[in-house]
Structure formats: structure tokens, C-alpha cells
Amino acid sequence: MLNISNNNRIGESLENYSTFKTLSNRPYYKILNKIIIGVSLLGLLILFLPWTQNISGTGAVTTLKPDQRPQTIHSAIAGRIEKWYVKEGDFVQKGDTILFISETKEDYLDPNLVKNTQSQLKAKEQAGISYGGKVTSLEAQIAAIQSERQLKLQQAQNKIKQARLKVKSDSMDLVAVRTQVKIATTQFNRSVALNKEGLKPMTDVEEKRLKLQETEAKIITQENKFLVSENELINAKVEINRLIAEYNEKEQKTRSDQFTALSSQYDTEAQVNKLQNQYANYQIRNGMYYIKAPQSGYVNRALQSGIGETIKEGTQIVSIMPAKYDIAVETFVTPTDLPLLHKGEKVRIWFDGWPTIVFSGWPNMSYGTFGGKIVAIENFISDNGKFRVLIAPDETDIPWPKQVSIGSGAQTLALLDNVPVWFEIWRTLNGFPPNYYQPKNNIQKDKK
């Protein structure tokens, strides 16, 4: 470098200047250095303090049980609004009448519909009883036919026996007559021979001839009697078959009438059941004209208004908030945080509008937070892309404020594992999730 100046100060020490000497002798610089060193040591110490990892979520106050949440009362039938019995803000007991509606469908406009249906039901029941009596009578008639057939068959069988005995008797008589013919023939021939020899007179021969002719005449008569007896036996057998066919026809006809009566009885019973169903439905429908409170609570809002307005089935009428309910908080967490949550874990909650000071890593130092525990974790993602978690009050912690209303907002912190502050800073800077861990209770149960 070209040095063209006469003031050459290169190499001269700063300690020769008075200003530098004054600065180096000021005492508060030493104090500042001590403060910086102390703050640095304190910051280094803080890095090794325990920090509670947590999962934050936003939600709202709700109720623990589904039947304790605000509900709307619907009309089960279509109708026309006739009279209101409550107004908004009223407290109603379970079963109190809220609204009265009238009928609009033409099928149910008859004021005596239930009474007429009951009369039809009684008439059909009597018809069923009558058919039952007819079936019983036909059954008795069938029994009488069977008994009469048995007697007739016994009578016909007796006739067959008599005919067989008569055939046997006539057969024996026929044999006897034939024997007599043989004897008369022998006697006649002997008389003729003796007459030729001159030992018997002709009158004796004539007597034997006359006796032979009489005997031959008897055999014809006896053969006719034998044939008549056989015909009577055949007729008796035919009579049995006729009786069997006749009484079978009578029995089948009576059974056909019985089955017809049974069919009519069953059809009447089906109609009775149908009328009973209609009668019960009409009675229940008459009770639906008065819309009643399903549980005790407060009428929040009348969703229908006016007199004479027509409503359809399933129309919302009023909304009711139950008087007694168990408060809870529903919060939503991201899918990446869901595996870190477990049923029964502790959660810190603060409510909107409630004075709160929150230190997320040091929950014991927070102010205005309340304790809770997880009672349910939904495994199906919600419409907002998060999973729903239901939190109930922790009995071992301070009670939740009674002033909190259903639907107000809430913030939650699910407490996880304890780690050093430096580790949490390092995890956050690198974008790592909180430590995955299992609660001690679950681990002990798994070991068992």
C-alpha cells in the first residue's frame, strides 16, 4: 500500500488512547458478563428439565350418554296442528303433552273407526267359533258313520255265515237226495228182477217205480235250493262290498265338509288376526295425536309454529334439552396422533371463556385447566379428517365448572411421556412425532 501521509499510526497500541482506558475501567460491564453467564447456565439447566409431551386438540362440550344429548321430537304420523300445550323455555316432565294434532288421511277420518273395527273383530271371532263347532259336529258325524259301518259290516258278515251254513245244509240235503235216488233205483231194479222171477207182484214194482220218480223229482228241487243258497252267499259278499263303498263315500263326503269347515275356520282366524292388528294399530294411532315428551327436560325451540299447519310423518316438532346429564368433552385429533392415545389416559382441558394460563409441557403449573380421562376413541375418521375422542371428568381431580354449557368450545391436552426439554426442542425442530409408548397399566395386563 502506498503511504503518502505524514501521520503514520500503524503499529500504535489502543491502550494509549484515553477513551479506551475509560471503557475498560467501567464496572457494569463485569456485571453484564456475569448476567450473561448466569442466564446461559440457567438456560442450559432448563434444557435438562422434564417436559411432558402432549397432544393438543379442539372440540366442544357434550354429554357422556347419547340419551342425555339435545334431541328433537318428531311426529310419527301426518296431521294438522290443533293446539300447543308448551312454549319455549318450559320445563316438561316425561310423558307431558306438548302438542295435539288431528287426522288428515281419509282412511282414518271416521271418528268411530276403532269401535267399528272392534265390532268387526267380535263378529269374525264368533264366526270362527261357529266354524269350530261345525268341525266338531262333523267329527262326531264321521265317528257315527264309522260305528254304523262297523255294525253293518258285522250284520253282512253274519249273513254270509248264514248263507254258507245254508249252502252247506242244502249241499248235504242234495247228497242225501242223490243217495235216496240211488237206493230207489236199486230197489226198483230188484223189484223188477223179482217180478220177472215171479217172486214179487207187479203192484210192488209200480210202487217202487213211483217212489223212484218221486225221489228223482226231489233231487231237482234240492239242486234248485242249493243254487239259491249259493246265490244268497254271493249276494251277501256283494252286499259287504256295497256297504264298504257306501260308507266310505259317506265318510269321505263328511270329511270333505269337515276340511271345508276347517279351511273356513283358518281363514276366519287369519281375518281375526288381521282385524286385531288393525284394531291395535288404530288404537296406537289414536294415541299418537298427542305428542308427548320422551324424557324430562327444557323446551329449547319450537321448530313448527301456528295452528292449522299440516305436517308430514317424521317432521321435527320441538327440540328438548334433558334436565339431567353427565357432561363430557369431544375432541378431535389427527391420524398421526391417534396411535398415541389410549382409553383411560389423563387429559387436561380448558373451556372457552374460562380464565386460563396454560403451560403445555408443565401441566402442574397451568391455571384454569381441569382433569379428564379418555373413555372412548372412535376408529372411524370424521368429516373433518380427524378422529373423535370422548373425554369424561376425572373423579380424582377438581370438578368441572357447572356454568359450562353444552356446545361451548374446549381445548384439550393429552399427556404423554416425560422427556428432557432439549429432546423436545430437538424433536420439534426435526418434525418428529412424540414418543410412542404404552401405558403402564396396559403393559402389566399384557404381562399377566
Residue 41, domain member (yes or no): no
Residue 313, domain member (yes or no): yes
Contact call for residues 344 and 377 (beta carbons, < 8 A): no
Residue 87 predicted with pLDDT over 80: yes
- What's the whole-number mean pLDDT along residues 220-245? 81
Strands (E), 85-204: 91-92, 97-102
How far apart, in whole angstroms, are the C-alpha atoms of residue 300 and residue 317? 11
- Residue 308 — pLDDT band, cuts 50, 70, 90? confident
- Asked whether residue 245 falls in the same domain as residue 293, the answer is no
Residue 315 predicted with pLDDT over 50: yes
Eight-state DSSP code of residue 357: B
Residue 6, domain member (yes or no): no
- What's the whole-number mean pLDDT along residues 324-343? 84
- What's the whole-number mean pLDDT along residues 292-316? 86
pLDDT digits (tens, 9 = 90+) for 147-205: 888 888 888 888 888 878 877 777 777 777 777 777 777 777 777 777 777 666 777 76
Q: What pLDDT score was predicted for residue 16?
A: 64
- Asked whether residue 97 falls in the same domain as residue 156, the answer is no
Question: Angle at Cα 343 formed by Cα 338 and Cα 347, nearest 5°?
Answer: 80
- Asked whether residue 300 falls in the same domain as residue 378, the answer is no
Q: Which of 70-74, 96-100, 228-232 is the least confident region?
A: 228-232
Q: What pLDDT score was predicted for residue 200?
A: 67
- Residue 447 — pLDDT band, cuts 50, 70, 90? very low
Residue 7, domain member (yes or no): no
Residue 78 predicted with pLDDT over 50: yes
Residue 246, domain member (yes or no): yes
Q: Of 265, 287, 309, which residue constitutes the final position of a domain?
A: 287
Q: What pLDDT score was predicted for residue 396?
A: 85
- Asked whether residue 254 falls in the same domain as residue 358, the answer is no
- Asked whether residue 282 falls in the same domain as residue 297, the answer is no
CATH number of the structural domain spanning residue 229: 1.10.287.2610
Instruction: List the one residue out of 382, 375, 442, 417 whose CA is nearest residue 64.
Output: 375
CATH number of the structural domain spanning residue 373: 2.40.30.170
- Asked whether residue 333 falls in the same domain as residue 438, the answer is yes
Please state whether the predicted TM-score (pTM) of the whole model is above 0.75: no
- Asked whether residue 86 falls in the same domain as residue 127, the answer is no
Burial class of residue 249 (count of CB atoms within 10 Å of its CB; 0-12, 13-18, 19+): exposed
- Asked whether residue 63 falls in the same domain as residue 132, the answer is no
Q: Which of 40-49, 243-252, 262-271, 380-389 is the least confident region?
A: 40-49
Q: Which of 101-115, 169-183, 368-382, 401-415 is the least confident region?
A: 169-183
pLDDT digits (tens, 9 = 90+) for 350-379: 888 777 766 666 666 666 688 888 898 888
| Encoded amino acid at 198, one letter | G
Residue 191, domain member (yes or no): yes
- Asked whether residue 345 falls in the same domain as residue 406, the answer is yes
- Asked whether residue 312 falls in the same domain as residue 280, the answer is no
How far apart, in whole angstroms, are the C-alpha atoms of residue 131 and residue 269? 10
Question: How many domains does the chain divide into?
Answer: 3
- What's the whole-number mean pLDDT along residues 57-71? 85
- What's the whole-number mean pLDDT along residues 247-256? 86
Residue 33, domain member (yes or no): no
Backbone angles phi, psi at 117, to 5 degrees: -65, -35
Burial class of residue 26 (count of CB atoms within 10 Å of its CB; 0-12, 13-18, 19+): exposed
Q: Of 322, 346, 371, which residue constitutes the final position of a domain?
A: 322
- Asked whether residue 162 falls in the same domain as residue 262, the answer is yes
- Asked whether residue 424 falls in the same domain as residue 349, the answer is yes
Q: What pLDDT score was predicted for residue 443?
A: 44
Q: What pLDDT score was predicted for residue 27?
A: 61
Residue 292 predicted with pLDDT over 50: yes
Q: Of 287, 314, 343, which residue constitutes the final position of a domain?
A: 287
Residue 338 predicted with pLDDT over 60: yes
Q: What pLDDT score was predicted for residue 217?
A: 73
Question: Angle at Cα 402 formed by Cα 400 and Cα 403, nearest 5°?
Answer: 115
Residue 39, domain member (yes or no): no
How far apart, in whole angstroms, are the C-alpha atoms of residue 154 and residue 421? 115
Residue ranges making up the domain that contains 434: 49-68+325-447
Question: Angle at Cα 379 formed by Cα 374 and Cα 384, nearest 5°?
Answer: 95
CATH number of the structural domain spanning residue 85: 2.40.50.100
Contact call for residues 310 and 335 (beta carbons, < 8 A): no
Residue 71 predicted with pLDDT over 60: yes
